[in-house]
Amino acid sequence: MKLKGRTAIITGANQGFGEAIASEFVRQGAGIFMCARNKEKLEAVKEKLAKIAPKDQKICTMVVDVAHEPEVEKLMNAAIAEFGHVDILVNNAGIYGPKGPIEKINSDDWVAAIEINLLGVFYCCKHMMAHMKKNNYGKIINLSGGGATAPLPFISAYAASKAGVVRFSETLAGECQGFKIDVNAVAPGALNTRLLDEVLSAGPQIVGKDFYEKALKQKKDGGVPLEVGVELCVFLASGESDGITGRIISAKWDSWKTLPNRRQELMASDIYTLRRITPEDRGKKWD
């Protein structure tokens, strides 16, 4: 029960990875406030979680489009009113957006992906910040992905927005110094969720041969289990990770379970951050 007594807001919690996070948070003792755009799926998840939660453990829902700031502000205020305090914010809601060469994709669809994936994170953080600063404590977990640390040709909106999420997380972590608010980005790994199905449906002519074949292999192999990323989110939401902030952490590849023993060493370095590589970093002298 690593999250007993804590409360969390989870966006995009009606399916896939968001639902998996919500389920484990409930098992770990947290009261949760879930949001998503699809009411039927959201209520179905709430019914499932109610079966595993004690009667005094609150599970709340609200239909919200995180791309619309007034709806986000309403969500934050409702969660604070319901729980009295919110300790954890998990910004999970996201979409791939349009796929294909940029000269052929719809510009409005590209912008819409940025609004959900990046502006949605900004709006949620903005309208929770005063509350967390007042409490002098908070945990913010922003979902990143492969597009943040490597180019994703033909899925440009997703890649650009997720890179933005990581830099925003690092920047917000700096703003929160002195308030005991930890802000981190999570790369959960290649998950077999609806996003993978979208890539396979689009086909190699849209997403590119290499990415499509990689997706086919992932579908066959099963991808990274949801539980791997969920376990990292529980760690970052718990007191065990206090003081670890401003990082992008891979659930599959990084040794994050040992970070409590390396807290000072980590925070004195640029490990697990986005940084520019210079010629000297690769042993070259170009000047």
Look up 158 and say whether it is catalytic: yes
Return the H-helix or E-strand segment holding 34: strand 31-36
Amino acid letter for position 39: K
Q: How far apart, in whole angstroms, are the C-alpha atoms of residue 119 and residue 129?
A: 15
Tokens standing for 244? 């670890």
Count the Cβ atoms, other than its own, within 10 Å of residue 11.
26
pLDDT digits over 9-57, tens only? 999 999 999 999 999 999 999 999 999 999 999 999 999 999 999 989 9
Nearest alpha-carbon partner for 172 in 246, 87, 275? 246
Which residue intervals of the chain bear CATH 3.40.50.720? 7-189+225-268
| Fold exhibited by the domain 7-189+225-268 | Rossmann fold (3.40.50)
Strands 88-91 and 59-63: unpaired
For 203, phi then psi, to 5°, come to 90, 165
The percentage of residues in the chain with a pLDDT greater than 90, rounded to a whole number, is 82
DSSP strand E in 71-147: where?
A: 88-91, 138-143
- Catalytic residue from among 96, 123, 158, 272: 158
b (16+ CB within 10 A) / e for 263-282: eeebeeeeebeeeeeeeeee
b (16+ CB within 10 A) / e for 53-75: beeeeebbbbebbbbebebbeeb
Average pLDDT over residues 54-61: 95
pLDDT digits over 178-207, tens only? 999 999 999 987 666 766 777 788 888 888
Q: How many CA atoms does the CB half-sphere of 240 hold within 13 Å?
A: 18
- Residue 222 — pLDDT band, cuts 50, 70, 90? confident
